[in-house]
A and B are shown apart, each in its own frame.
Chain A
Amino acid sequence: GEEVAQTPKHLVRGEGQKAKLYCAPIKGHSYVFWYQQVLKNEFKFLISFQNENVFDETGMPKERFSAKCLPNSPCSLEIQATKLEDSAVYFCASSQGRGTDTQYFGPGTRLTVL
């Protein structure tokens, strides 16, 4: 596709429940990034993939968070046993991985943990 697609747009979970978010990068892009935006402003990098391989996971919480990018499937970000502080908008971005390497962002998934 020509745009990064993210589903669902909104997700509501009770504390302790699992949440799974999906991202379809732009076709032909090699890199996928996940960011978390809290308090409407602050962006935090979580993890990136080069094709189906983890490229950089330095921002990923060690517990409860996991992510995958499998061939011919949307990428996913999963949060086990959600906590109130996980409430945020989660953005996925993709890039070609060459040239100016511009990142194109999806519209985000708003996760609300009650």
Chain B
Amino acid sequence: TQLLEQSPQFLSIQEGENLTVYCNSSSVFSSLQWYRQEPGEGPVLLVTVVTGGEVKKLKRLTFQFGDARKDSSLHITAAQPGDTGLYLCAVRPYTGRRALTFGSGTRLQVQP
């Protein structure tokens, strides 16, 4: 069983549409991170959320950490082709663990 379940797995939308990606778990985390990975590259950190209920905005991207710190969402407004990529949520599952555990990923394709 995956620690972090992401949905949807794949998403193909037209430029200008809005979308939301979800990252869910039955475990509680002290923080959660979102990464974007483009083809042929390593993941790049977008944001870290720490407080339950926290909302962070990065231009057209809005990240929310669930009140119980078990889940998170990423909302993209007016998607652009440059948003195309693999979106991954990640956590450090327990104190003292520095390595990341990644979610299953959401592959987003934005058509011009």
Name A residues whose Cβ lies closer than 8 Å to a Cβ of B.
4, 31, 33, 35, 40-43, 45, 48, 55-56, 59, 91, 93, 95, 97, 100-108
Contact = CB atoms under 8 A, between A and B. Distances in A.
A43 B40 contact: no
Interface string B18-43: 00000000000000000000001111
B41 A33 contact: no
Contacts of A91: 42-43
A31 B86 CA distance: 25
B43 to A, nearest CB: 5
B59 interface: no
User: Which residue, A31, A43, A91, A102, has most C-beta atoms of chain B within 10 A?
Assistant: A43
Contact of B99 (A40, A45, A104): A45
A59 B102 CA distance: 13
A105 B42 contact: yes
A41 B43 CA distance: 11
Nearest to A6: B42
B84 interface: no
A103 B104 CA distance: 19
Nearest to B101: A45
Contact of A108 (B41, B86, B88, B104): B41
B78 interface: no
Given A40-B86, A43-B102, A97-B98, 17 more contacts: A41-B86, A41-B104, A41-B107, A42-B102, A42-B104, A43-B88, A45-B99, A56-B97, A56-B99, A59-B99, A95-B98, A105-B44, A107-B40, A107-B41, A108-B40, A108-B41, A108-B42
A107 B100 contact: no
